[in-house]
Amino acid sequence: MKINGTPYRTIWPTAGNQAVEIIDQTKLPHIFATLRLENMRDTERAIRDMQVRGAPLIGVTAAYGVALAMRGNASDAALAEACSVLLASRPTAVNLRWGVEKMRALLTPLPERERAAAAWKEAARIADEDVAINAAIGKHGSEIIRASYQNKDGQRKNSTVNILTHCNAGWLATVDWGTALAPVYTAFDAGIPLHVWVDETRPRNQGASLTAWELGQHGVPHTVIADNTGGHLMQHGMVDMAIVGTDRVTARGDVCNKIGTYLKALAAHDNGVPFYVALPTPTIDWTLQDGVKDIPIEERTPEEVTHISGWCEDGQVRSVLLTPVNSRAANYSFDVTPARLVTGLITERGVVAADAEGMRALAI
Amino acid sequence: MKINGTPYRTIWPTAGNQAVEIIDQTKLPHIFATLRLENMRDTERAIRDMQVRGAPLIGVTAAYGVALAMRGNASDAALAEACSVLLASRPTAVNLRWGVEKMRALLTPLPERERAAAAWKEAARIADEDVAINAAIGKHGSEIIRASYQNKDGQRKNSTVNILTHCNAGWLATVDWGTALAPVYTAFDAGIPLHVWVDETRPRNQGASLTAWELGQHGVPHTVIADNTGGHLMQHGMVDMAIVGTDRVTARGDVCNKIGTYLKALAAHDNGVPFYVALPTPTIDWTLQDGVKDIPIEERTPEEVTHISGWCEDGQVRSVLLTPVNSRAANYSFDVTPARLVTGLITERGVVAADAEGMRALAI
């Protein structure tokens, strides 16, 4: 999508395919900076330190990481090491495993001398495939937004479609378009008047820093709110639908996403507001059923709760302590929204209900 | 309750009754400082700038404000002006109106020369009454905590009682004891092992800054969490009950409290976790029924969402910008939890259900 009028992706090969470049997402929204990743360890660090984040982008970055590893040494041992290092960089994201295993499966049978070129080509193909998948999610999801704006005869029934989103499942979380925000961009570019309520998404504030930034750069009207606010807005008819992304969906449609998603789904359900989850189908983990019981929830450092960083009046990005020095904090990164609270899953193959029938349609 | 081992109230007259002193709550948790209020305008500013906050403490501070006004000029005009200025300092709190009107009713029939002494005595009496009411809330509420810890025969059935709270309805919000935290302190002082999950409570972070601080000073085990976390904890059996305060309860038991309370009540309901609201009965506004429709919700400055302040490594308390420069923010301060989601109201007169029968019992 656009940054200050110029089209960008979140990851791209340098001229001559010597390295890949990314947007350093830890610096947003205050500083827009790109970063050059020269080797596999650079990609592992970028994933671990969340300079790239978002399930699809992590998968693509890992694929490029394998490709970078193959340039210097394409032995079986080097391939095994690259896969193992990259798989350990973030524990929860199923797309990370998917991207790495896809590379391993492709490269293992090839002779060493062919691996580097094949790996690079495959990583680029995975990136392009992500863009195509998200564009398709955008197309299907935008029809839901259009249906909220006008009826089938094209007559207007809503002056502005208000959409609530949580965390960042925008184009910054993918290679382009995003998952939850792909329908928003598609509908916006088609001229449908809309406005996005952006949950700030504590503790890492990906909503306030990333979602607000990318919507603003593309020109989409939006308002940042504290995570506590969505229920009140829904009680007062100020939200027409919620659309969120996901890190993992179980075979029965339970949705693991950023901590706090479950609370918004409860509020949507209590107020008759449609609650959609946008995802590429590889996000579905067919080995799991009961998400609340079966999905391990990543615990991150308490410092993400006790501290926050932002732009200080003196022009520095500074971290400040929010809590008493001796108070403990806990930092659970994800929660699970049971399928019963989800109105529909927006996928590249169309929109399905989060129930047995809908999941069967995606399993075929 | 205790600060570093020493008993405190949140507001107290100076020796000789020349002024009142308060704890400057805007400086917590980083700096403990007290502030001397010399006149009515000082008290108005302390309420408006939230150096004192919490419905009961606002009411008592306003009463002292009227008393301070009467010292210099006890005319009808001065009384009317003091009441009018103080009533305008915070729009939502029903206790503010209650405290001011109580003073007006007492002072109006008195001769001018008697007003100053009577006002001072009445303000002190209102403060003592608040302490007594909260101690009674603590006693009744602690029985609920005890019942979670052991059965009627005194046999242990829970190793630690985990209580979730939102915002600050602790002793800092009252003169002493608190409302939501009065049961916690009472149970803790009685030796019941407990632990409090403290919602940080964005945007003003009263949980992270005030609740965590006062629990820590009194020695109560607690953990600060992002507001997004409570649903996940409840899904996993990590919360035995929620207890929150309230700024206003309608005649049918709908509860207006800090924004985000409704989301926690939904999660409690979805997981069978008891959800209690602690309040002095003057918090009930018998003129209102449907809280969602009828209670006006204060909107505060967007800067509370876009900025946050904390303790910086350089030893300064600094404000940092969290959002992109051009992104809008909205800041609704309260939401309304429908009575159907409330397990019980803990009052100075006992615990009642938030239903027609329970409310009738409190109306008598």
Residues in chain B closer than 8 A to A297 (CB atoms): 232
- What is the pTM for the complete model shown? 0.94
Exactly one of A42, A176, A240, A247 is catalytic; name it.
A247
Poorest-pLDDT segment among A63-77, B87-101, B164-178: B87-101
Does some domain include residue A135? Answer: no
Same domain, yes or no: B17 and B67:
yes
Q: What pLDDT was estimated at residue A154?
A: 87
Is residue B92 predicted with pLDDT exceeding 70? no
Q: What pLDDT digit, counting tens, does each position of A152-186 carry?
A: 888 998 999 999 999 999 999 999 999 999 999 99
- Is B134 a member of any domain? no
Domain end residue (candidates: A128, A154, A185): A128
**What is the pLDDT, as a whole number, of residue A93?**
66
Domains held by chain B: number: 2
Query: In terms of residue numbers, what domain contains B107?
Result: 2-128
A188 and A288 co-located in one domain: yes
Q: What is the pLDDT of residues A173-219, one digit of tens each?
A: 999 999 999 999 999 999 999 999 999 999 999 999 999 999 999 99
Helix, strand, or coil here: A358? helix
Q: Which pLDDT belongs to residue A92?
A: 67
Q: For the residues B147-166, what does the mean pLDDT come to?
A: 93
Report the amino acid identity of residue B211. Answer: T
In a domain, B37, yes or no: yes
Asked if the Cβ–Cβ distance from A305 to B233 is below 8 Å, we say no
Whole-number average pLDDT of chain B: 96
pLDDT for B93 beyond 80 = no
B205 vs A: CB within 8 A? yes
Q: What is the pLDDT of residue A364?
A: 81
| Domain annotation covers residue B304 | yes
In a domain, B133, yes or no: no
Residue of B290, B323, B328, B332 to mutate when probing chain A, most A C-beta within 10 A: B323
> What are the backbone dihedrals phi and psi of residue B127, each rounded to the nearest 5 degrees, phi first?
-60, -45
Enclosing H/E stretch for A256: strand A255-258
Whether residues B357 and B210 fall in one domain: yes
The residue in chain A having the minimum alpha-carbon distance to the alpha carbon of residue B328 is A223
Same domain? For A104 and A226 the reply is: no
Does the residue A134 lie in any domain? no
* B199-227 mean pLDDT: 98
Give yes or no for residue B282 having a pLDDT over 90.
Answer: no
Give the residue numbers of B marked as catalytic.
247
- Mean of the per-residue pLDDT values for chain A? 96
Q: How confident is the model at residue B55 (pLDDT cuts 50, 70, 90)?
A: confident
Nearest CA in chain B to A312: B320
pLDDT tens-digit series, residues A299-355: 999 999 999 999 998 899 999 999 999 999 999 999 999 999 999 999 999 999 999
Residues of B whose CB is below 8 A from A292: 235-236
Check CB contact under 8 Å for B212 and A323. Answer: yes
Does A248 fall in a domain? yes
Identity at A24, one-letter amino acid code: D
Mean pLDDT of A71-96: 91
Classify burial at B196, counting beta carbons within 10 Å of its beta carbon; exposed 0-12, middle 13-18, buried 19 or more. buried
* Subunit contact A227:B226, Cβ cutoff 8 A: yes
Partners of A246 in the β-ladder: none
The answer, for B311 touching chain A at a CB cutoff of 8 Å, is yes
Chain A's closest residue to B307, CA to CA, is A310
Q: Residue by residue, what is the 3-state secondary structure of chain B?
A: CEECCEECCCEEECCCCCCEEEECCCCCCCCCCEEEECCHHHHHHHHHCCCCCCHHHHHHHHHHHHHHHHHHCCCHHHHHHHHHHHHCCCCCCHHHHHHHHHHHHHHCCCCHHHHHHHHHHHHHHHHHHHHHHHHHHHHHHHHHHHHHHECCCCCECCCCEEEEECCCCCHHHCCCCCCCCHHHHHHHHCCCCEEEEEECCCCCCHHHHHHHHHHHHHCCCEEEECCCCHHHHHHCCCCCEEEECCCEEECCCCEEEECCHHHHHHHHHHCCCCEEEECCHHHEECCCCCHHHHCCCCECCCHHHHEEEEEECCCCEEEEECCCCCCEECCECEEEECHHHCCEEEECCEEECCCHHHHHHHHC
pLDDT at residue B283, rounded to an integer: 87
The domain boundary residue, chosen from A128, A162, A183: A128
Q: What is the DSSP letter of A308?
A: E
Position B108 confidence tier, pLDDT thresholds 50, 70, 90:
very high
CA distance, residue B64 to nearest chain A CA (Å): 30
Residues of B in contact with A334 (CB under 8 A): 232
Q: Are residues A123 and A151 in the same domain?
A: no
Q: Does residue B189 share a domain with residue B63?
A: no
Which of B128, B151, B167 delimits the end of a domain? B128
What pLDDT, in 10s, does the model give residues B109-156? 999 999 999 999 999 999 999 999 999 999 999 999 999 999 888 899
Tell me what pLDDT residue A282 has. Answer: 85
A69 backbone dihedrals φ, ψ, rounded to 5°: -65, -35
Query: What would you measure as the largest C-alpha separation in chain B, in angstroms?
Result: 63
CATH at A120 = 1.20.120.420
- Is A226 close to B260, i.e. CB distance below 8 A? yes
* CA-based nearest distance B171→chain A, Å: 17
pLDDT confidence tier of residue A98, bands split at 50, 70 and 90: confident
The answer on pLDDT for B342 being more than 90 is: yes
Contact B272, B242 (CB under 8 A): no
Task: Select from A308, A353, A109 the least CA-distant residue to A202.
Answer: A308
Residue B254 domain-assigned (yes or no):
yes
Considering the domain architecture, whether residues B231 and B318 belong to the same structural domain is answered as yes
- Mutate which: B196, B327, B336, B341, vs A, most A CBs within 10 A: B327
Phi, psi of B112 (to 5 degrees): -55, -40
A174 and A120: one domain?
A: no
Mean pLDDT of B50-69: 94
Q: What is the pLDDT of residues B185-201, one digit of tens each?
A: 999 999 999 999 999 99
Provide the pLDDT confidence category of residue A55 given band limits of 50, 70 and 90.
confident
Given an 8 Å threshold on Cβ–Cβ distance, is A235 in contact with B262?
Answer: yes
Instruction: Flag whether pLDDT at B37 surpasses 90.
Output: yes
CATH number of the domain where residue A286 is located: 3.40.50.10470
Q: What is the pLDDT of residue B364?
A: 81
Indicate yes or no: CB of B322 within 8 angstroms of CB of A308. yes
Asked whether residue B216 falls in the same domain as residue B325, the answer is yes
A216 touches B at CB < 8 Å: yes
A-contacting residues in B 24-63 (Cβ below 8 Å): 29-30
Q: Give A302's contacts (C-beta < 8 A, 6+ positions apart).
A: A328, A329, A330, A331
Interval B206-215: pLDDT, tens:
999 999 999 9
Percent of chain B with pLDDT over 70: 99
A108 and A227 assigned to the same domain: no
Residues A85 and A159 both lie in one domain? no
- Looking at the structure, tell me whether residues A67 and A182 fall in a common domain: no
Is A248 an interface residue toward B (CB < 8 Å)? no
